[in-house]
Amino acid sequence: MQRKDILLQRLDEIGKVLEKKEGTLALLGLGSVGMETDRIDKYSDLDFFVIVSAGYKQRFIDQLDWLEETHPLAYSFKNCDIGYKIMFEDSIYGEFAIFEELELESASYSGVRIVWKHPSYDSESILTSKSDFPGTKSASLDHVVNEALTNLYVGMGRYARGEKLSASRFVESYAINGLLSVLYLLEPEVDFYPDKFGNERRVEKRFPQFSSRIGNMLQGYDKVPDSAIHILNYLEEIYPVNAKLSSEIR
């Protein structure tokens, strides 16, 4: 059986178990097991929400019998107040959260697929998130480029001081994160499952021109200055960079 079939079948099985439990309203698939099942591959996992009636949330958080009944668990970690990260005995990994019906209105999500729902439950209202998404794109190239320049300058100072880890964060994390937020302004984006929560997701497919160069910008702990020079070169190609700051960084 293909990985896609295994994952979707496991989710269906969870839905069948929830159907027998008191207080359950719906099971929603998200991510690659939501509306984007075409992108499931051998590295995909389960991401889902369980919607329950008022007063039932804690029962499904405190007792994972409904998952054990589906398939034995090998690992469970309560990573937040409303959910877990899990792995079944057959190596299927998953993450889930439990919501009462009204709480779903404050959750941010996209591309959900209804795996199972109680016949009385209004499914139309849950297909679209009512909460704002975190901002992942910047409209200001000027702001991002200048923020990245200052990241490089501060990072190089810290590297020279011997603070290599801090330097790597400024150069290879903060500056790169800024660039990811404006890539859509710099090259045509290939339509390949963009993620509203993370610009780094599938960037290799979505922005192939930038991705062909990113390896030189992320050379690691002992080569932060080399990374910084490649980032600076890129910044100078895409925007009029301040000559004094560029000289100081070099």
The DSSP code for 182 is T
55, 148 contact by CB (below 8 A): no
Cβ(30)–Cβ(44) under 8 Å?
A: no
Whether residue 133 is predicted with pLDDT greater than 50 in this model: the reply is no
Give residue 164's pLDDT: 97
Q: Does 56 score more than 80 pLDDT?
A: yes
55: its two tokens: 């007063």
Query: Residues with Cβ < 8 Å from 24, sequence gap 6 or more?
Result: 18, 50, 51, 52, 53, 56, 60, 118
When pLDDT is averaged across residues 44-53 and rounded to a whole number, the result is 96
159, with CB counted inside 10 A (0-12, 13-18, 19+), is buried
Q: How confident is the model at residue 193 (pLDDT cuts 50, 70, 90)?
A: low
Q: How far is CA 111 from CA 8, 28, 43, 142, 191, in A?
A: 15, 10, 19, 32, 15
The yes-or-no verdict on residue 4 having pLDDT over 70 is yes
Three-state SS at 36: coil
Which whole number is the average pLDDT over 116-126?
Answer: 80
- Tell me the CA end-to-end span of the chain in Å, nearest whole number: 55
What's at 39, amino acid-wise? R
CA–CA distance, 37 with 99 (Å, rounded to integer): 23
Look up the pTM and report it: 0.74
- Residue 138: pLDDT over 80: no
Distance between CA 243 and CA 230 in Å, rounded? 16
Give the model confidence (pLDDT) of 149-163 as tens digits: 999 999 999 999 999
Report whether pLDDT(132) > 50. Answer: no
Pairing state between β 93-100 and 46-52: parallel
- Give the residue, 96 or 109, on which the prediction is more confident: 96
Tokens 């859509």 appear where? 184
Give Cβ neighbours of residue 38 (< 8 Å, ≥ 6 apart). none
Average pLDDT over residues 61-68: 97
Which of 70-74, 171-175, 186-190, 207-211 bottoms out in mean pLDDT, i.e. has the lowest? 186-190
What's the one-letter identity of residue 33? Answer: V
Categorise residue 23: left if φ over 0, alpha if ψ from -120 to 50, beta otherwise. left
What is the average pLDDT across 73-84?
A: 95
